[in-house]
Amino acid sequence: MASGAGPEIERLMALLSKLPGLGPRSARRAALALLKKREQLLLPLTSAMQDAADRVTSCHICGALSTQDPCATCADPARDRTMICVVEEDSALWAMERVGAFKGRYHVLGGLLSALDGVRPEDLRLTGLMQRVLDGEVEELIMALPATVEGQTTAHYIADRVRQIAQGVQVTYLARGVPVGGELDWLDDGTIAHAFKSRR
Amino acid sequence: MASGAGPEIERLMALLSKLPGLGPRSARRAALALLKKREQLLLPLTSAMQDAADRVTSCHICGALSTQDPCATCADPARDRTMICVVEEDSALWAMERVGAFKGRYHVLGGLLSALDGVRPEDLRLTGLMQRVLDGEVEELIMALPATVEGQTTAHYIADRVRQIAQGVQVTYLARGVPVGGELDWLDDGTIAHAFKSRR
Ligand SMILES: [Zn+2]
Ligand SMILES: [Zn+2]
């Protein structure tokens, strides 16, 4: 991208274009907006990113990104410790929390099993999940995974393993209502709330 | 956005959503990508933004964003000093430089006259432009402004003022080829190059 803007600005544009949803063109627009709005945008965003880099870690219990460990959800005594909602990524957890329909705790797998992409059980946060299941407090594991092949494969794999180690733990699935192929965090909040209530 | 992610991550999402092209949803995706790719994305982008905040300034001659003053284009003795290409924003300058069809220098107005938005001549980088015209080296002023009402109003206003102070300076316009209503940096490079060659 020889834009004549100099190496610092070109590097900024190149890195911005790596953000999901930003191509080279929108990365240039974003760079220009940052540089033109130094005080209102560039400096606050830089400091927010620096804060995030310094302080964000993964909760050692559920794997969620958080600035405290355990995260706020795991640390909250008011959350129901008998239910764990299993999600692929933090974005799904964030979507659930915006809806506010779920009062239990979470487990963030950090991905989905995929033969195609070579994602194996040991690549996901599964050992910790089985540990939590074995701890004895958990009565229900809610699979809030995408209605895709990978999502369903992962859900069934987890259900099988749970059945082997803890027969008393019920494994449930979000009701249809989550469109096939749909990622959770792209759904409207009402759909998620409904799918939650009628989970099977 | 009560996502349960904590105030630092929420602040990051809120600031990202102020970038052009990113709504709340894509801002959440961008935040997640940054936090998951700490070493490859979050840290390099933070440092690029910090560099930009520390070092980027406006060239005192042409107004372009740059880490040096005068900017590389104004400082380059190989650039034709008889031609100035007048653009609205740095993004148009960057588009021109990518095409590489123009070997003169630039002037970045920083906006367009607009009765509706209350943008007056004194809000644009016009005094500096008239100074450059008066300096005597300039023979041609190329109006590379959008083919919108504001773009054409601004071009005619500049042409009028130039006619009053320096009759010898020719004012030209990008040829049609730039679609009506089109912003320069959204065009393909071939269109820009063509419009440039057949300017009138
Ligand atoms: Zn946690
Ligand atoms: Zn300059």
| Other Cβ atoms closer than 10 A to B125 | 15
Q: Answer whether residue A146 shows pLDDT above 80.
A: yes
Write out the residues surrounding ion ligand 2, Cβ under 5 A. Answer: B 59, 61-62, 64, 70-71, 74
pLDDT digits (tens, 9 = 90+) for B129-179: 999 999 989 999 999 998 888 999 999 999 999 999 998 999 998 776 555
Q: By the 8 A CB rule, do B159 and B111 touch?
A: no
CATH topology (fold) of A7-55? Helicase, Ruva Protein; domain 3 (1.10.8)
CB contact under 8 A, A45 and B91: no
- What ipTM describes this predicted complex? 0.84
**Class for the domain spanning A65-173:** alpha beta
| pLDDT of amino acid A148 | 84
Cβ-defined contact of B32 to A8 (cutoff 8 Å): no
Q: Is the pTM of this model over 0.90?
A: no
Chain A residues in contact with B91 by the CB 8 A cut-off are 28-29, 32
Ligand whose nearest atom lies closest to the CA of A129: 1
pLDDT over threshold 70, residue A71: yes
Four-residue CA torsion sign, A48, A53, A57, A63: positive
Kindly indicate the confidence band of residue A56, based on its pLDDT and cuts at 50, 70 and 90.
Answer: very high
How close is the Cα of A142 to the center of ligand 1, in Å? 16
Across the interface, whether the CB atoms of A93 and B32 are under 8 A apart is answered no
Q: Which of A8-17, A26-35, A106-115, B180-189 shows the lowest mean pLDDT across its residues?
A: B180-189
Distance of CA B102 to the CA centre of its chain: 15
Domain boundaries, chain A: 7-55, 65-173
**Chain A interface mutation, best of B10, B32, B49, B65, highest count of A Cβ atoms under 10 Å:** B49
Quote the crossing angle between the two packed helices A149-165 and A127-134, to the nearest 10°.
Answer: 40
Residue A58: pLDDT band (50, 70, 90) is very high
Closest ligand to residue A64's CA: 1
**Ramachandran region, residue B75 (left: φ > 0; alpha: ψ -120 to 50; beta: rest):** alpha
Residues sharing a CB contact under 8 Å with residue A105, sequence separation 6 or more, in sequence order: A61, A62, A73, A74, A79, A80, A81, A83, A84, A85
- How far apart are the CA of A125 and the centre of ligand 1, in A? 12
Count Cβ atoms below 10 Å from residue B19 Cβ, excluding itself.
25
